Amino acid sequence: MFKNVKLADDYYSSDGSFEIEFYLRNEKVSVIIDDRIPVLDLGSNYNVQYPPVNSKPSPQGAWWLVLMEKAYAKLNMNYT
């Protein structure tokens, strides 16, 4: 499913959209997503007020896996 995953600075467009390519049955399928991630509002009683609903960045602070998860969910018609 994930072949030749490449990330570079030029993958981020000025409008906040990403085009992620998957291979489905040996055919390339492009999925376009935005950079908005659903978050929870925990109120002011917590240190992190708006944590992501399903995922979090890597320990190094990278968000690419969260964006790939969103694109994969959209590919499977389970994300708007």
Residue 1 lies in a domain: no
Identify whether 66 is part of a domain: yes
Give the tokens for residue 55.
């995922």
Q: Which two tokens stand for residue 35?
A: 């950079």
Q: Reduced to 3 states, what is the DSSP secondary structure of residue 49?
A: coil
Range of the domain at 13: 9-75
Rounded to two decimals, the pTM is 0.66
Digit-coded pLDDT (tens) for 43-61? 666 666 677 777 777 788 7
Look at residue 64 and tell me if it is in a domain.
Answer: yes
Residue 9 to residue 7: CA distance in whole angstroms: 7
State the total domains in the chain: 1
- Our separate counts of H helices and E strands in the chain read 1, 2
Instruction: Answer yes or no: is pLDDT of 36 > 60.
Output: yes
Contact 46, 40 (CB under 8 A): no
CA-CA distance, 21 to 10, in Å (whole number)? 15
Residue 7 has pLDDT above 80, yes or no: no
Whole-number pLDDT of residue 70: 87
Helix, strand, or coil (residue 9)? helix
